[in-house]
A and B are shown apart, each in its own frame.
Chain A
Amino acid sequence: MTATPTLSRPQSVAGEPPVTRRRRPGSTTILVTGLLVVAALYFLVPVYWVVVAATKTSGDLFATNGFLFAPNFVLWDNLANVLSYGDGVFVRWFLNSILYAGVGALAATYFAAAGGYALAKYNFRGNSLIFGLVLGGVLVPGTATALPLFLFFSQLGIANTYWSVLLPSLVSPFGLFLCRVYAQATVDPALLEAARIDGAGELRIFHSVGLRVLTPALVTVFLFQLVGIWNNYFLPLVMLSDSNLFPITVGLNNWLSQADRLPEFYQLTTGGVLLSVIPLAIAMIVLQRFWRGGLTEGAVK
Chain B
Amino acid sequence: MSATADTAQAHPSALQREGHGRARQQRRVVTRAPWILLAPFLALFALTFIFPIIAAVGSSFTKVTRSGLFGETGVHSGFAGFENYARALGDGSFLASIGRVLLFGVVQVPVMIALCTVLALLLESASAKWPGFFRAAYFMPYGVPGVIATILWSFLYVPGLSPLVDAATSVGLTVNFLGPDTVLWSIANIVTWSYTGYNMLIVIAQLKSIPGEIYEAARVDGAGPFRVAWTIQLPLIRPALVLTTVFSIIGTLQLFAEAQVLQTVAPAVDSQYTPNLSAYTTAFAYNDYNVAAAQAVLIALAAFILSFTFLRFTNRKSS
Q: How far is the CA of A16 from the CA of B210 in the complex (A)?
A: 10
- Binary contact readout A103-128 vs B (1 if CB under 8 angstroms, 0 otherwise): 00000000110110111011010010
Q: How far is the CA of A133 from the CA of B29 in the complex (A)?
A: 25
Q: Contact at A124–B31, with CB atoms within 8 Å?
A: yes
- Measured CB to CB, the nearest residue on chain A to B246 is A139
Contacting A at CB under 8 A, from B283-314, are 283-284, 289, 292-293, 296-297, 299-300, 303-304, 307
User: Is there a chain B Cβ closer than 8 Å to A72's Cβ?
Assistant: no
Contacting B at CB under 8 A, from A133-154, are 133-134, 137, 139-145, 147-149, 151-152
Q: How far is the CA of A22 from the CA of B126 in the complex (A)?
A: 7
Contacting B at CB under 8 A, from A32-85, are 32-33, 35-36, 39-40, 42-47, 49-50, 53, 61-62, 65-67
User: Is there a chain A Cβ closer than 8 Å to B78's Cβ?
Assistant: no
Q: Contact at B140–A231, with CB atoms within 8 Å?
A: no
Q: Which listed residue, B49, B59, B129, B225, touches A151 by the CB 8 Å rule?
A: B59
- Measured CB to CB, the nearest residue on chain A to B136 is A285
Task: Given A61-B161, A67-B163, A288-B135, check contact A233 B145 (CB 8 Å).
Answer: yes
Residues of A in contact with B (beta carbons under 8 Å apart)? 12-22, 24, 28-29, 31-33, 35-36, 39-40, 42-47, 49-50, 53, 61-62, 65-67, 111-112, 114-115, 117-119, 121-122, 124, 127, 130, 133-134, 137, 139-145, 147-149, 151-152, 167-168, 170-171, 173, 176, 196-197, 201-203, 206, 227, 230-234, 238, 248-250, 252-253, 256-257, 259-260, 266, 269-270, 273, 276-277, 280-281, 283-285, 288, 291-293, 295-296, 299-300
Q: Contact at A122–B33, with CB atoms within 8 Å?
A: yes
Q: Contact at A43–B141, with CB atoms within 8 Å?
A: yes
Please give me the 6 A-B residue pairs with the lowest Cβ-Cβ distance, nearest first: A66-B163, A202-B33, A115-B41, A284-B143, A118-B37, A148-B52
Would you list 23 pairs from A and B whose C-beta atoms are within 8 A, ordered by A residue? A14-B210, A18-B126, A18-B212, A32-B125, A32-B127, A36-B119, A39-B119, A39-B134, A122-B33, A140-B303, A143-B276, A144-B299, A145-B53, A149-B48, A168-B48, A171-B48, A202-B36, A238-B280, A284-B142, A285-B140, A288-B136, A295-B201, A296-B205
Chain A residues in 8 Å Cβ range of B55? 148, 151-152
Chain A residues in 8 Å Cβ range of B299? 141, 143-144
Q: Which listed residue, B51, B130, B155, touches A270 by the CB 8 Å rule?
A: B155
- Measured CB to CB, the nearest residue on chain B to A35 is B122
Q: Contact at B276–A117, with CB atoms within 8 Å?
A: no
Binds A, one of B92-100, B146-154, B174-182: B146-154
Q: Contact at B127–A134, with CB atoms within 8 Å?
A: no
Main secondary structure of the interface of B (DSSP, over half): helix
Q: Contact at A276–B129, with CB atoms within 8 Å?
A: no
User: Is there a chain A Cβ closer than 8 Å to B10's Cβ?
Assistant: no
The distance from the CB of B130 to the nearest CB of chain A, in whole angstroms, is 8
Most buried by A among B34, B59, B240: B34
The distance from the CB of A63 to the nearest CB of chain B, in whole angstroms, is 10
Chain A residues in 8 Å Cβ range of B51? 148, 152
User: Is there a chain A Cβ closer than 8 Å to B250's Cβ?
Assistant: yes
Most buried by A among B127, B204, B211, B292: B127
Contacting A at CB under 8 A, from B22-63, are 26, 29-38, 40-42, 44-45, 47-53, 55-56, 59
Chain A residues in 8 Å Cβ range of B48? 145, 149, 167-168, 170-171
Q: Contact at A147–B289, with CB atoms within 8 Å?
A: yes
- Measured CB to CB, the nearest residue on chain A to B303 is A141
The distance from the CB of A279 to the nearest CB of chain B, in whole angstroms, is 9
Q: Which listed residue, A65, A145, A250, touches B56 by the CB 8 Å rule?
A: A145
- Measured CB to CB, the nearest residue on chain B to A14 is B208
User: Is there a chain A Cβ closer than 8 Å to B104's Cβ?
Assistant: no
Chain A residues in 8 Å Cβ range of B163? 49, 65-67
The distance from the CB of A198 to the nearest CB of chain B, in whole angstroms, is 11
Q: Contact at A18–B147, with CB atoms within 8 Å?
A: no
Q: How far is the CA of A121 from the CA of B37 in the complex (A)?
A: 11
Chain B residues in 8 Å Cβ range of A152? 51-52, 55
Binds A, one of B12-20, B69-77, B83-91, B253-261: B253-261
Chain A residues in 8 Å Cβ range of B261? 253, 256
Q: Which listed residue, B41, B196, B250, touches A112 by the CB 8 Å rule?
A: B41
Q: Contact at A233–B147, with CB atoms within 8 Å?
A: yes
Q: How far is the CA of A11 from the CA of B145 in the complex (A)?
A: 30
The distance from the CB of B186 to the nearest CB of chain A, in whole angstroms, is 13
Q: Which listed residue, A18, A137, A230, A281, touches B45 by the CB 8 Å rule?
A: A137
Task: Given A296-B202, A296-B243, check contact A24 B215 (CB 8 Å).
Answer: no
The distance from the CB of A227 to the nearest CB of chain B, in whole angstroms, is 6
Task: Given A12-B209, A43-B138, A202-B29, check contact A273 B151 (CB 8 Å).
Answer: yes
- Measured CB to CB, the nearest residue on chain B to A270 is B155
Q: How far is the CA of A213 from the CA of B35 in the complex (A)?
A: 21
Supplied contacts A19-B219, A43-B197, A234-B276, 11 more A-B pairs, CB within 8 Å:
A14-B211, A18-B212, A33-B127, A50-B152, A66-B161, A112-B41, A115-B41, A139-B303, A147-B56, A203-B33, A276-B148
